[in-house]
Structure 1
Amino acid sequence: MNEVPVGKITGRETRDLINGKSVGSRSISLRITDVLPGALCSPGHVHTECEEVIFILSGQGEIKIGEETFPMKVGDAIHLPTGVPHLIRNTGKETMRMACSFSSNDISRDLKSEEGMNF
């Protein structure tokens, strides 16, 4: 994983381990996302053409899915259906690491911001 380029976005770092570009995947992607303590993964967003599954590897936080907010902790798995807005924040004192899997080989093509979404 250390050989994978790191994407730096405000409050988080991402590593795209599997996707169409990196390994020629036709229909899936896997990303590791590290969210810094107290950081918000903003803006909220929606995937217009794919589903997402998030698995919490370390840390804790909360996720807003549509209008509902849920806690997240180590071992939790969260399913995000296509077209559902979501927003994540780290509520802990350590980095929250998530494995994020998508039913698309290029998640950038169907990502739509939900600028007004907040906790």
Structure 2
Amino acid sequence: MRKYKVAEMEVKPLVDKGGEVRVMMSPKTVDATQLIMGTATVPVGTTVKKHVHDYGEECFYVLQGKGVLYLEGVESIEFSAGEALIVPKGVPHSIENTGDELIKVVFATAPLAPTAQAGHRNMGGNGHA
């Protein structure tokens, strides 16, 4: 039977990228075929490791907090709650929490990569893009 709904707390968090990521909509959770979607949190003073999505673009909507999105070779963009951002396909990026509260976002990436490992490639180090 196909699943259409997932609760955030049903999904085991990924903690190896900096912050906490819960991929809620994916081929493993709801048989998604075109995208992934989930939530992420970034504690105060923490940076999400530089990474790249080679197969698709990523967008996120900021529910809480403020920070800086670093896009390698492009620019640094300050953001806060109530704003949405997009990361172009193939652009290495990282996020830094520059505020005084937890950052919480909803993110989506599309199109879907052929494997989970291919969809998110770490660039090494903890620094800015």
For normalisation by structure 1, the TM-score amounts to 0.88
Distance 2:65 2:13 in 1: 20
Check 1:80–1:91 CA distance in 2 against 1; reply closer, same or farther (3 A cut): same
Deviation at 1:98, TM superposition (A): 0.9
Change (3 A) 1:72 1:110: same
Partner amino acid for 1:110?
A: G
Conserved 8 A contact 2:95-2:128: no
- The answer to whether structure 1 residue 109 and structure 2 residue 115 are counterparts is no
Residue 78 of structure 2 is aligned with which of 66, 71, 81? 71
Aligned partner of 2:61 in structure 1 is 55
Give the Å deviation of 1:3.
2.1
Highest Rg: 1 or 2? 2
Contact 1:29 1:107 in 2 (8 A): no
Instruction: Tell whether 2:103 aligns with 1:93.
Output: no
Aligned CA RMSD, in angstroms, stands at 1.8
Native 8 Å contact 2:44 2:97 kept in 1? yes
Name the SS of the counterpart of 1:21 in structure 2: helix
* Corresponding position of 1:34: 41
What does residue 3 of structure 2 align with?
none
- C-alpha distance in 1 between matches for 2:68 and 2:27: 29
Q: What is aligned with 1:24?
A: 31
Gapped runs of 5+ residues in structure 2?
A: 1-7
Aligned length: 118
- Pair 99,107 (structure 1): closer, same or farther in 2 beyond 3 Å: farther
What amino acid does structure 2 have at the position aligned with 1:115?
G
Are positions 1:84 and 2:94 aligned together?
Answer: no
Unaligned runs of 5+ in 1: none
Q: CA deviation at 1:8?
A: 2.0
> Under a length normalisation based on structure 2, what TM-score does the superposition of the two structures give?
0.82
